[in-house]
Structure 1
Amino acid sequence: MVALSVTIDRAVATDTVLDLEPSGSELAPPATLTIPAGSTSAKVNVDTNPTSTASFRQIFVSYRGYRVTGYGILVTPLKASVSFDKAPLASGEAGNGLIYLSAPVRQALTLPLSSSNAALTVPASVTVKPGAKFATFPITTTPVSARQTVRVTSTLLGFPYFGNVQLLPTASLKTLTLPATAYGNGKIVGTVRLTIAAPAGGTTVTLVSSNASLTVPATVTVPAGQYAATFDAFSSDVATDSLPVVTATAGGVSASSGVTVKPLSVSGLTLSASTVAGGGTVTGTVTLNTAVAVDTVVTLTSADPVASVPATVTILAGGKTATFTVSTSAIASAKNVKITVVKHGSSVYRTLKVTP
């Protein structure tokens, strides 16, 4: 839109109507212009229509059918530019783009949009509202492993207009590693590895276990400049095999790893003596198949009250053995007593001879 001012050489006594006629379709003035009584001039806004090339056009002014003057106007093509609110843009994050026109539009103008890279997504089009000269559009991205230049293109009057944005790599998850097997009440160490070194502030990896037989922390942080971090996972005192799956996620990428959690078992039972006189004591030592990460209870039984044992014995965290005392009573004749230790489905026994 341009403003046209028409001036005559003397003031008019009454409202005077002048006819306006453009020399080309690029200009769209009103059909008439009225100079008020007592005035020598009047202004009117002239709309323009889209054009792909610059052109010089005129508006002819007539009074009662006679052309009295003309005004030249250079009509230039409407142009566009594409820019971004974040440049460069971290992949995996969202942003906004901006279409900016060289002049406000008289009517709503819809412009197509496209991206040169599937890692950066834009809507199919954006609309500039009447009277405006710009419009924004949303941008979504997915993580990339290397810096990339992405071109966003729009087309106006057959001419492409584009803007480039640098898409920065995001540290996303590459692998999750866990031991294939763990035993109850144990600790295993897992490792998460990123595609690139973690940025300043580190990269947080979320962790989830599929069931309670294996507990993992909610998150683990890979320190800035590092590619990997480890975390401790703790198994529960399962009675049968369990198959939890741990899932790690960072930068929109997830990886899973399964672990077989097996029950603890008794691997050994020793007595400090195989024979004891009634009224004496013997020390028993129970051994599990592996060290435990938390205090762990095993069950003890005696086949005869002449040799008594505690109901349980606790193996302390970090160890795999514990001792207990077998107390005997005086008897008139010798007896063989079976001392048994039980953990889940496993058991080991030793025979203690109690003599008079």
Structure 2
Amino acid sequence: MPIDISENFSLHAYHYHLPEESIAQHPADRRDASRLLVLHPESGRREHLQFADVIDFFAPGDLLVVNNTRVFPARLHGRKETGGKVEVFLLEYPLCRVEGKSFTAPALLKASKRPKPGSRIEVSESLQCTVLELLEGGKALLELHCESPEKLAAELEFCGEVPLPPYIGRKEGATEEDRTRYQTVYASTPGAVAAPTAGLHFTPDLLEKIHEKGIEMAAVTLHVGYGTFAPVRVEDIREHQIHTEYLTISEETVDAVRRTKAAGGKVWAVGTTTVRSLEFGARQNEKGELQAVEAWCNLYIYPGFTFRVVDNLITNFHLPDSSLMFLVSAFCDREKVGEKNKGREMLLESYDEAVKMGYRFFSYGDAMAVVGPR
């Protein structure tokens, strides 16, 4: 007998039709020239602007929080000892796990015949890998051999390719342009295999104008993992197991949030990764106050979630039936904003309108802002 699942918890309720031509394959000519759909959940009103216009929604005393993770060139091409080709997709920055001169990282291996434990892969004269262990899902644990952390970082930059999302299906693959454009202008801490794409729209000039308006800026570091693209395979979304990603929130960021809240300002989160980071940090003590933290973040946000830190959200347009859709739906429906349990409907209506108006979707696509009342 089928189980009755509330619409907000049913996977199929987060589906929408997206023509293939709506998926952006290249970035906009200029970062802040992307389009911006602004949703006001308290009324359901929508505005259609350019991304540079986002500055008009900030007020002096607000705080802009970004994710400063940096995408590293995680896709490597090597050869097995037999001479066969193998593609290595590192799922974690190897310099996160350093023991002396030993560097390990999980990876996806693509080859005509899967390498066995103990086998070696040569990437370059200065970089080789040993398969330590085969894992589930086609993954393997690798040890990377390089003379120093500095040399390893340099070899990855020289040999590696930017790991573009699977829905960017260009025949030419990643280009030199992608090394710059699939990276935020404030990216500073290597460790991600996917960009926090809501931040791709900001330019140094726009950030300077935001600063001049009296808006403070703070950062978290959440290394976006390949799990962000993992499909949800359960009909009741509450049963989904969210991926974990390494998170750091500094005392400086905590202090900035506390000052902003105390003065009545609004906290703006750039991207769903920043939302997860801040809300995870606010769940590290009984009082529900944001804390500095360095840990694996496994916070799963879906409708019914109570937000404690974030007031406004800047995000991109996300894949149908994805955990990112659940998060944004929950944010549209947060406490004291809009009609209860209508966040999902408002979000889907916004997406349908965006499709009809020719917005560009996903990582290199256009942006959306969910703005609450002042």
TM-score range, shorter chain: under 0.3
* TM-score, normalising length: structure 1: 0.20
* TM-score, normalising length: structure 2: 0.19
Higher helix share: 2
Higher strand share: 1
Higher relative contact order (CA 8 A, sep 6+): 2
